[in-house]
């Protein structure tokens, strides 16, 4: 038997919680490396919240983590977050695109350690899928004002999303959920992955 490889009969099932945690750690480590190498060009700091003024949707696995983290907050803080989420959910779709995230209290994320992957990546230079054949470069307007950094400091968002999708599919299958659902963050706060996508986002 090759050392370090389990025989087929003893193959351990994939730990989905650890797989998701591993992806989060990799994004955090990438951010730390970029900050260490380009500190003067990265303005991200506590109470810097321009990236938190969007209508964000998350995958079911992320919705599950968000909901659990909110439920674990102290009661008064949880009630305030949930009230903000209900207020956001009650708005017409066109009015939800801006305004502070319901999780943002006193300009700080109340579930910072459990925030979704896209929130962890905000501020980083990223390659994202555009309308053309090639990925498009994007970065927070406060960072890297002199221009894009080298390729080793740019996050490929499509690659990250593929990793998340693979774990999310298995996680959803084990719970009878739709892995293709995109759940508005406010709905995730209130109901977790079982809350389902916003009907106004459906075809």
Q: What would the pLDDT profile of 137-163 be if each residue is shown by its tens digit? A: 999 989 998 888 887 899 999 999 999
State the average pLDDT over residues 56-74: 95
Max avg pLDDT among 4-18, 20-34, 130-144, 182-196: 20-34
Maximum distance among all alpha carbons in the chain?
Answer: 61
- From its phi and psi, is residue 21 left (phi > 0), alpha (psi between -120 and 50) or beta? alpha
Q: Kindly indicate the confidence band of residue 12, based on its pLDDT and cuts at 50, 70 and 90.
A: low
Report the distance separating Cα 89 and Cα 198, nearest Å. 9
Give the pLDDT of residue 23: 96
State the Cα torsion 109-113-119-120 to the nearest 10°.
140
Per the CB < 8 A criterion, the answer to whether 52 and 109 are in contact is yes
Phi, psi (deg, nearest 5) at residue 154: -110, 125
What are the tens digits of pLDDT across the range 16-32?
Answer: 999 999 999 999 999 99
State the average pLDDT over residues 89-118: 83
What tokens appear for 54 in the block? 């969007």
Which of residues 197 and 54 earns the better pLDDT score? 54
Q: Kindly indicate the confidence band of residue 4, based on its pLDDT and cuts at 50, 70 and 90.
A: very low
Confidence check: pLDDT of 89 > 50: yes
Buried-exposed string 131-168: b where 16+ CB fall within 10 A, e elsewhere: eeeebeeebbeebbeeeebeeebbbebeebbebbeebb
Per the CB < 8 A criterion, the answer to whether 154 and 144 are in contact is no
**Do the bridges between strand 126-128 and strand 155-156 make them parallel or antiparallel, or are there none, so unpaired?**
parallel
Give the pLDDT of residue 134: 80
Confidence check: pLDDT of 36 > 70: yes
State the average pLDDT over residues 174-200: 84
Q: Kindly indicate the confidence band of residue 194, based on its pLDDT and cuts at 50, 70 and 90.
A: confident
Give the pLDDT of residue 196: 58
Among 132-136, 146-150, 199-203, name the one with the lowest average pLDDT: 199-203
With a pLDDT cut of 70, the percent of the chain lying above it is: 86
Per the CB < 8 A criterion, the answer to whether 58 and 169 are in contact is no
Spans of all domains in the chain: 39-194
Question: What mean pLDDT value characterizes the chain?
Answer: 85
* Strand partners of residue 183: 58
Report the distance separating Cα 52 and Cα 90, nearest Å. 19
Report the distance separating Cα 144 and Cα 64, nearest Å. 34
């Amino acid at each position: 038997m090759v050392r370090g490889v389990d025989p087929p009969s003893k193959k351990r099932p994939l730990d989905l919680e650890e797989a998701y945690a591993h992806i989060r750690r990799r994004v955090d480590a990438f951010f730390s490396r970029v900050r260490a190498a380009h500190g003067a060009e990265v303005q991200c700091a506590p109470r810097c919240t321009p990236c938190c003024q969007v209508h964000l949707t998350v995958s079911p696995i992320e919705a599950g983590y968000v909901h659990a983290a909110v439920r674990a907050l102290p009661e008064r803080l949880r009630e305030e977050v949930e009230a903000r989420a209900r207020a956001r959910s009650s708005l017409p779709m066109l009015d939800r695109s801006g305004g502070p995230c319901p999780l943002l209290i006193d300009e700080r994320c109340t579930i910072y350690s459990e925030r979704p992957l896209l929130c962890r990546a905000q501020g980083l230079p990223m390659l994202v899928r555009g309308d053309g054949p090639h990925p498009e470069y994007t970065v927070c307007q406060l960072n890297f004002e002199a221009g894009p950094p080298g390729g080793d400091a740019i996050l490929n968002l499509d690659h990250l999303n593929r990793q998340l999708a693979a774990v999310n599919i298995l996680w959803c299958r084990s719970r009878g959920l739709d892995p293709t659902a995109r759940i508005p963050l406010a709905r995730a706060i209130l109901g977790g992955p079982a809350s389902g996508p916003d009907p106004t986002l459906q075809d």
